[in-house]
Amino acid sequence: MHVMRTPKGEMKTSLKKGAWSLEEDRKLIAYINRYGIWNWSHMPKYAGLLRSGKSCRLRWMNYLKPGLKKGSFSKEEEQNILHFHSILGNRWSAIARKLPGRSDNEIKNYWHTTLKKRVTNNPVLKGSKQESMNISQSIESDNDEKLDQEDVNHANEINFSWTSKDDNYTPKDNQVEFIADIGSPGTVEDLQYFWKELYPLEELEERNIDEDMFLDHIFQDSYDHTITPWSFYNDEYDITSTSI
C-alpha cells in the first residue's frame, strides 16, 4: 500500500509509481476532460490520484492525450524520423512536433530499438546524417522559432480537435468526451458534481473498498487534504483549507 509510517509513527502517504491502472487513467481523463490542464503539480489530488504531477503529465502526454496514434510506424513516419533526426539530432520533442500523433517518448523508443541499428549498419544513411549534422547548426535557430510557433498551434489543436470517436483512442473503458481546456481546479460544488458523476453512489458502494483511493479515506485524518469520492458524499472536503 501507499501508506507509511514516519519514524515518529505518523501516517503518511507515498506517491504511487509504476504502471497506471485503468482506474487511474479514467480519473485523469475525466478530470482533464472537465477542468483542463491548469497545474500538473496540484491537479493529481483534485483528480483523486496518488501520483506526482510529473507522472500524470507523462501519462497524459505519452498515452492518454487525444489524437495520439498507437501501433506501428508507417514507412513515411520512419522516413520522417530518419530525416529529422539527421537534422535535429536527439531532440525528440522537436522531432515529435513534426510527426503528428506521435509522442517524443515513442519516437525515442523507436529510434533506440529499431532505427539506430539501421543507421549504424548503413554507411549511406550514416554519411547523410553526418552531412546533415554539419548544416544543422546554421538552420537551428531558425528552426527553433518555427517550432515555438508550432508549439502554440499544436496546443490549440489538442484542446479542440478530439472526440471519443477517434479511432486511435486506446483506453476502452473511458467513455468520456474531451470538451475543452477549461483550466481551473473547479469550485467545491463542481468537484462534488464531478465525483458524483464519475462514481455514482450505487457503483461506489459495489466497489471493493480495498482500492487504493478508498482505503485512503480510512486514514483521512492523517493526510493533508486527501480527496476521495467519500469525502464528497459526506461533504467533508473543504476547498478553502487547501492552498493552491
Q: Which stretch binds DNA (CB under 7 A): 3-11, 34-42, 218-226, 229-237?
A: 34-42
Q: Which stretch binds DNA (CB under 7 A): 110-118, 173-181, 186-194, 219-227?
A: 110-118
Answer for which of 108, 154, 196, 217 binds DNA (CB under 7 A) is 108
| Nearest CA-CA partner of 27 in 212, 220, 168, 202 | 212
How many residues touch DNA (CB under 7 A)?
Answer: 31
Q: Does 159 bind DNA (CB under 7 A)?
A: no
Q: Which stretch binds DNA (CB under 7 A): 53-61, 118-126, 199-207, 213-221?
A: 53-61
Contact 181, 37 (CB under 8 A): yes
Q: Does 19 bind DNA (CB under 7 A)?
A: yes
Which residues, other chains included, contact 139 with Cβ-Cβ below 8 Å and sequence gap of 6+?
A: 87
Answer for which of 109, 161, 184, 234 binds DNA (CB under 7 A) is 109
CA 213, CA 211: separation in Å to the nearest integer? 6
Of the pair 182, 204, the CB lying nearest DNA is at 182
Q: Which stretch binds DNA (CB under 7 A): 3-11, 33-41, 126-134, 205-213?
A: 33-41
- Interhelix angle 123-161/75-88, nearest 10 degrees: 110
Answer for which of 23, 83, 98, 104 binds DNA (CB under 7 A) is 104
CA 188, CA 192: separation in Å to the nearest integer? 6
Q: What are phi and psi of 108, to 5 degrees?
A: -60, -45
**Distance, C-alpha 174 to centroid of its chain:** 15
Rounded alpha-carbon distances, angstroms, from residue 157 to 52, 85, 128, 160, 211:
26, 24, 33, 6, 36
Answer for which of 31, 35, 46, 92 binds DNA (CB under 7 A) is 92
Q: What angle do CA 132, 133, 138 make, to 5 degrees?
A: 90
The amino acid at residue 14 is S
Answer for which of 12, 53, 182, 219 binds DNA (CB under 7 A) is 53
Of the pair 183, 200, the CB lying nearest DNA is at 183
Q: Which stretch binds DNA (CB under 7 A): 59-67, 130-138, 173-181, 185-193?
A: 59-67
Binding site for DNA (CB under 7 A): 16-20, 39-42, 53-55, 57-59, 62-63, 90-94, 104-106, 108-110, 112-114
